[in-house]
Amino acid sequence: MTIRLANINDLTEIVAIYNETIASRMVTADTEEVTVAQKLEWFNSHTSNRPIYVYCEDKKVLAWLSYKSFYGRPAYDGTVEMSIYITGEARGKGLGKRLMLFAQSQAKQLNIKVLLGFIFSHNLPSVKLFKHFDFKEWGELPNVAVMDNKLYSLTIFGKHI
């Protein structure tokens, strides 16, 4: 079991894990699968201060987490949006908790002061994970997403590190 910085060779597996989540309408607002080419700019936008990490077992990527700067203004430099994605075969085995501990630990090393999670309000497993780690509900954007002609709300969770 290894958590390490992602490299370009991981992008195919990162995209595959991401694409697994689309059909559930619980994790991402993308409604159709994306390609590696479509995610290349996103991948390359990450830096040493806003990295992507992968969790591997037997050299296979089972999960990834990323930090993205919030709102792009200097006053928010210490605030990031955090994302965690886990392949279906590895869900429900405590990996989310392990990644959340790692994410918070790394945040301190990266001089991140505030972690945010933007979670669909009906994504109860993710809501439960963030609450377990004392993230607080800082707001809700009601019915801001439309997927399959249904409305979905987005809850913003935050925590000062």
Q: How many CB atoms sit inside 10 A of residue 16's CB?
A: 13
pTM (2 d.p.):
0.95
Contacts of 52 (CB under 8 A, 6+ apart): 5, 6, 14, 43, 46, 64, 65, 66
Express each pLDDT in 80-134 by its tens digit. Answer: 999 999 999 999 999 999 999 999 999 999 999 999 999 999 999 999 999 999 9
Taking 90 as the threshold, does the pLDDT of residue 1 lie above it? no
Task: Sketch out the chain's domains with CATH numbers.
Answer: 2-160 (3.40.630.30)
CA–CA dist 78, 2 (Å, integer): 27
